[in-house]
Each structure stands twice: as structure tokens, then as C-alpha cells.
């Protein structure tokens, strides 16, 4: 009796076991994914180009919408939807190209849509972060369906370069359509779904290929997903040692291209210590940037001497590099009244990003070797950023991403741009800087403007309100079956318009 019972129990267990494994194995099979999946470190905050300020939102909205103008590799303005004509210093006429693509809802793109888009940005009720960049616009007039006039309050030679906001359909703007989650533009891709703010699916209109953007905060998980083929490519935001490790794998391709993301050390010019030129200069000569780039950043960066890279039309390629010279640094410290018996003590604030923290400890160690005691204080982004804006720091490091128009100098270094009026976080108040910036701002010729900015960059390197560190490379890590992704200096995702996957 007992044996029979045992046999029947074992039989049932075996059946259960088989059913479980059937289910398990069937659910474990990889689906044959036809899509191209991109791993992102953060989700886009919005898909409405009128409100996009973060890099990911900007890069994705470029795929969904087109703007009047765009930039080339030297950051010069070039036509996209329209060509322009300067009728007077305060009057620009834009003519839309013929045979423009329709909006994704089927309506044609006309000058009325351009007018409605820019007027909604300027509308006081809309509160767009980009309003400040186009508030010189006095009026917008649609001359005919293909021509639009912009009249300005004052002359702005850089004006065409400011019209980079993607164009939205007028009809939907008036209906207060939620472009942030249901974007409708005339770009090369249209939205399919945006699930949980983590999984965005777009369809490429040329070949109906689905492009997925999957947010994966943890870089290790992003890499493991790539190795297992759950995603096809990752653009940046990976620790350099992981990139080097991936480069050795047969199934993975790593591409690099010079980028324009500028990393710097900033000083509080109102602080008695960092306001002292000798101290700033001593710090500058004590940092061995070449070694950091070679050994820590895996050669994925190039040394920077100014905010704009040398290939920028207003960049200065003749700047003399800040050399690594510990002896000079010690001499400068002595001139400022510090030596080994009375060392200089500085507080260095950074965000809590692990890689930035690692870089900070290396800089701390390099400064220690010349007798500067650095205390690192690392905070979450909100706290750190709040402190920097309020001027509660001596030294900090940050990066500028996506700089294109050179009047950013006004915003960062003019004495009228101290937060909250701008990003002069170091509270620089220098007569010469202000003068050059004013002259450049009202100079009608772009070539002459470029000369002013070149001079300014040389002067800034002399007075050192920032220590330029490096420009980070744009990096693509992809499965080897991904073809045709061309990296660019801007770091955008434009190559997803034509990238292919060999299944």
C-alpha cells in the first residue's frame, strides 16, 4: 500500500516538474527582436521641444521634429526647414524649403505653424525655458504659406542660430495638445509608445524600423544587457574602464569621436582664497591633465584650454596650454603666502556621481603633492547645484554640454549674469571681460565677433576664473551587427535615422 502511494506521489511530482520546466524554458526563449534598442542612462524629461532642456530630451526631440535651422560640425548655422535672408539688422526673412515632409498627423507644415510655435514659446502663460534666448523677437509675421518674417527689438547677428526649436502643428498648439508625451512633429521618426517614462518606442518613417529607447540607470546593467543582446547600442555615460574592457570583446564595437562637452574647475572669485590669482594659478599648474586623460579616462578625452573647442568657428586654436609644473605651483603658493608649514586648505564641491568623485580624489591627490590640502564634499545633484548657484563654494567641477552659440560667454562670465540672472556662478566681475562681451554682442560681422571671442578666451586663460580640464569624447558602444552609426561632435542621436542591424 505504502509503496503504491509513494509511486503515485513521485509520478505527480514528476508531472509537475515537467510542466514547470516546459513553462520555464518556453518563457526563457529570447524573442527574435527586430527593433534597434538603445540603452539610456536617464529618461527624456519631455518630448516637447519648447520645454526640453536636458541633453537626452534635446537629442530625442531632434528625431521627432525639425527646426528652421541646425548646426554643422564647426557649429556654424545651416538651413534645415528654411533658408534665411537678413533684410535689415532687426529684420530676418525665412523661406521654407519646397516639398517639406508633412506632420505625423498628416497636416502640411506652413509658415503659420512656425509662427504658432515661436509665439507659444514667447507666450507669458506658457513659461518656456527657451523664452530668454529669443526674447529679442518683436513680431512674427507669416507673409505667405512658405515665408515668415521675424522683426527684432535690437540687432542680433546670431539670431538665425537661435531658431532651433522643433516646429509643432498650429492646430494642436491651440488645442493645448500634450506634446510632452504624445509628440507630433515632422521629423524622421514618429512615436509609437512611451511606457512608464522608461521605454520609448519610435518608428522610423523611411523603412518602418522600430527604434526603442530603454532607460537603465545602472551602467553595469546597461553593459550586461548589451552583451546579452537585449539592447543594441549605448551612447556614452559609461565608465572608461568598462569601455576599454568592452573594446576587447569580439561581439562589441567601440567608436570614439572628439566631443565638445567641456569639463572645468570653477572658482568662487569672491572667496578670499580662490579669489587670489596666485592660488588659482598654483592649482592650475599642479593638475596633470595629460595623465588623468591617459590613465583614468582611457584616452577618451582631449585637453581643453577654453570653453569652445578649437574647431568651433569662434574657438581659439592658438591658446598656450596650461602646463603641469609642480615647482611653479609651489612657487606661486609661496607668493600667496603658503608653504608646507602653513598649507593652503580648499573645499572642493562635486556631485555624487561615482566617476566624478573618482576624478576629484585624483585631483585632490595631485594638489596634495604641491602642499594644497583639499577637502572633497560630495552632494546629491539638487544640493550641489543649489550651493553652486548660491555661491556657497570655493572650488567645484562641472561640465558644459552642447554649447553652440558663442554668446554663452556673456551668460557665463559677464558681471550681469550672476545667478539667478545667468550662470556666472563664480561671481567674476572683471571690467575687461565685460567690455569684450559687450563689444562682441553688438558686432554685426560674425568674423569680427569671432575675433572678440578668441581674445576673450585668451584673457580668461590668463585670469583663470575656470581651469579648463578636458573635452570628453563621444563614445558609441554597440553590438557588432549594428552598421552605419556615425558619431558627431554634438553627441546627438541623428545617426539613428539610418543605422541598420544585420539579423
Partner 1 sequence: MYLNYIIKRLFSAVFVLFSILTLVFFLIHIVPGDPIEVMLGETARTTDREALRHALGLDLPIIQQWLIYLHSFFHFDLGTSLHSKQQVSQLLLEHALPTAILSLASLFVAILISVPLGILSAVHKDSILDKFSMMTAVLGVSIPNFVMGPLLILTFSLWLGWFPVSGNEGVTSLILPALTLGTALAAILSRMIRSSMLEVLQEDYIRSAYARGLTKFNVLVFHALRNAVLPIVTILGMQLGTLLAGAVITETIFAWPGIGQLIIESIQKRDYPVIQGCVILISFTYVLVNLVTDFICLSLDPRIKLDS
- Which helix or strand (DSSP H or E) is residue 331 part of? helix 326-335
**C-beta of 345: minimal distance to partner 1 in Å?**
23
Instruction: Give the alpha-carbon dihedral of 474, 480, 484, 487, to 10 degrees.
Output: 0
* Per-position x/- string for 364-393, each x denoting binding to partner 1 as judged by CB under 8 A, each - no binding: ----------------xxxx-xxx-x----
**C-beta of 426: minimal distance to partner 1 in Å?**
14
**C-beta of 221: minimal distance to partner 1 in Å?**
6
**SS in 3 state form for 450-496?**
HHHHHHHHHHHHHHCCEEEEEEEEEEEEEECCEECCCCCCCCCCHHH
Which of 7, 18, 224, 444 is in the footprint of partner 1 by CB under 8 A?
A: 224
**C-beta of 199: minimal distance to partner 1 in Å?**
8
For the chain, the residue count is: 503
**SS in 3 state form for 246-294?**
HHCCCCEEEEEEEEEEEEEEEECCCCCCCCCHHHHHHHHHHCCHHHHHH
Yes or no: say if 381 and 387 are a contact pair by the CB < 8 Å rule: no
Counting contacts by CB under 8 A, is residue 354 touching partner 1? no
Query: What is the number of other CB atoms lying within 10 angstroms of the CB of residue 131?
Result: 15
Nearer to partner 1, 250 or 318 (CB): 250
| Helix (H/G/I), strand (E/B), else coil: 472 | strand
Nearest-angstrom CA–CA distance, 275 and 165: 39
Counting contacts by CB under 8 A, is residue 420 touching partner 1? yes
Nearer to partner 1, 251 or 321 (CB): 251
**C-beta of 84: minimal distance to partner 1 in Å?**
23
**C-beta of 54: minimal distance to partner 1 in Å?**
8
List binders of partner 1 among 230-269 (CB under 8 A). 230
Counting contacts by CB under 8 A, is residue 128 touching partner 1? yes
* Site stretch for partner 1 (CB under 8 A), options 13-21, 89-97, 191-199, 268-276: 191-199
Nearest-angstrom CA–CA distance, 95 and 69: 11
Cα 379-385-386 angle, rounded to 5 deg: 100
Counting contacts by CB under 8 A, is residue 357 touching partner 1? no
Nearest-angstrom CA–CA distance, 107 and 43: 29
Which of 162, 225, 285, 330 is in the footprint of partner 1 by CB under 8 A?
A: 225
**C-beta of 17: minimal distance to partner 1 in Å?**
16
Q: Return phi, psi of residue 230, to 5°.
A: -80, -20
Residue 116, C-alpha cell as written in the block: 504658432
**C-beta of 327: minimal distance to partner 1 in Å?**
39
Peptide bond into 420 cis (omega under 30): yes
Total of chain residues touching partner 1, rule CB under 8 A:
47
Query: What is the number of other CB atoms lying within 10 angstroms of the CB of residue 422?
Result: 17
Which of 35, 119, 146, 180 is in the footprint of partner 1 by CB under 8 A?
A: 180
Nearer to partner 1, 55 or 68 (CB): 55
Nearest-angstrom CA–CA distance, 468 and 319: 12
| Residue 149 vs residues 159, 387, 388: alpha-carbon distances, Å | 13, 43, 40
Counting contacts by CB under 8 A, is residue 3 touching partner 1? no
Nearer to partner 1, 385 or 459 (CB): 385
* Site stretch for partner 1 (CB under 8 A), options 129-137, 232-240, 249-257, 369-377: 129-137
Nearest-angstrom CA–CA distance, 34 and 500: 11
Counting contacts by CB under 8 A, is residue 441 touching partner 1? no
Nearer to partner 1, 216 or 322 (CB): 216
Q: Which residues lie near partner 1 (CB under 8 A)? A: 27-28, 30, 43, 45-46, 53-54, 124, 127-133, 135, 178, 180-181, 196-198, 214-218, 220-221, 224-225, 227-228, 230, 380-383, 385-387, 389, 411, 420-421, 423
Amino acid at each position: 500500500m505504502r509503496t503504491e502511494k509513494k509511486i503515485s506521489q513521485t509520478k505527480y511530482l514528476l508531472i509537475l516538474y515537467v510542466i514547470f520546466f516546459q513553462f520555464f524554458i518556453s518563457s526563457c526563449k529570447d524573442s527574435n527582436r527586430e527593433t534597434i534598442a538603445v540603452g539610456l542612462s536617464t529618461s527624456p524629461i519631455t518630448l516637447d521641444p519648447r520645454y526640453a532642456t536636458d541633453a537626452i530630451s534635446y537629442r530625442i526631440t531632434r528625431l521627432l521634429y525639425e527646426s528652421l535651422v541646425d548646426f554643422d560640425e564647426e557649429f556654424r548655422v545651416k538651413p534645415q526647414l528654411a533658408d534665411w535672408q537678413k533684410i535689415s539688422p532687426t529684420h530676418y526673412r525665412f523661406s521654407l524649403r519646397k516639398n517639406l515632409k508633412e506632420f505625423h498627423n498628416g497636416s502640411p507644415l506652413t509658415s503659420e505653424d512656425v509662427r504658432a510655435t515661436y509665439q507659444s514659446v514667447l507666450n507669458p502663460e506658457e513659461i518656456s525655458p527657451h523664452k530668454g534666448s529669443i526674447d529679442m523677437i518683436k513680431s512674427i509675421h507669416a507673409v505667405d504659406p512658405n515665408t515668415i518674417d521675424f522683426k527684432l527689438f535690437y540687432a542680433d547677428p546670431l539670431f538665425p542660430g537661435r531658431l532651433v526649436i522643433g516646429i509643432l502643428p498650429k492646430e494642436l498648439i491651440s488645442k493645448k495638445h500634450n506634446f510632452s508625451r504624445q509628440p507630433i512633429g515632422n521629423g524622421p521618426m514618429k512615436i509609437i509608445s512611451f511606457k512608464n517614462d522608461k521605454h520609448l518606442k519610435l518608428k522610423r518613417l523611411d523603412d518602418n524600423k522600430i527604434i526603442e529607447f530603454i532607460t537603465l540607470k545602472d551602467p553595469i546593467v546597461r553593459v550586461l544587457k548589451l552583451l546579452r543582446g537585449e539592447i543594441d547600442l549605448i551612447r556614452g555615460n559609461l565608465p572608461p574602464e568598462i569601455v576599454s574592457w568592452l573594446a576587447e570583446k569580439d561581439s562589441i564595437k567601440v567608436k570614439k569621436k572628439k566631443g565638445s562637452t567641456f569639463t572645468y574647475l570653477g572658482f568662487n572669485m569672491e572667496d578670499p582664497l580662490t579669489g587670489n590669482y596666485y592660488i588659482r594659478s598654483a592649482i592650475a599648474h599642479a593638475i596633470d591633465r595629460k595623465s588623468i586623460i591617459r590613465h583614468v579616462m582611457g584616452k577618451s578625452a582631449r585637453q581643453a584650454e577654453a570653453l569652445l573647442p578649437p574647431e568651433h568657428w569662434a574657438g581659439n586654436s592658438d591658446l598656450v596650454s596650461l602646463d603641469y609644473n609642480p615647482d611653479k605651483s609651489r612657487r606661486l603658493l609661496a607668493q600667496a603666502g603658503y608653504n608646507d608649514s602653513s598649507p593652503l586648505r580648499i573645499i572642493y564641491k562635486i556631485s555624487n556621481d561615482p566617476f566624478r568623485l573618482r576624478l576629484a580624489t585624483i585631483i585632490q591627490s595631485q594638489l596634495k603633492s604641491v602642499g594644497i590640502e583639499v577637502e572633497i564634499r560630495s552632494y546629491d545633484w539638487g544640493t550641489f547645484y543649489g550651493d553652486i548657484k548660491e555661491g556657497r563654494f570655493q572650488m567645484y567641477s562641472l561640465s558644459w554640454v552642447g554649447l553652440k552659440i558663442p554668446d554663452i560667454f556673456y551668460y557665463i562670465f559677464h558681471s550681469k549674469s550672476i545667478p539667478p540672472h545667468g550662470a556666472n556662478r563664480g561671481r567674476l566681475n572683471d571690467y575687461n571681460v565685460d567690455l569684450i562681451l559687450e563689444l562682441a554682442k553688438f558686432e554685426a560681422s560674425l568674423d569680427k565677433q569671432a575675433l572678440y571671442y578668441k581674445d576673450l578666451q585668451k584673457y580668461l586663460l590668463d585670469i583663470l576664473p575656470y581651469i579648463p580640464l578636458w573635452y570628453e569624447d563621444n563614445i558609441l558602444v554597440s553590438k557588432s551587427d549594428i552598421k552605419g552609426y556615425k558619431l558627431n561632435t554634438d553627441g546627438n542621436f541623428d545617426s539613428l535615422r539610418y543605422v541598420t542591424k544585420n539579423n
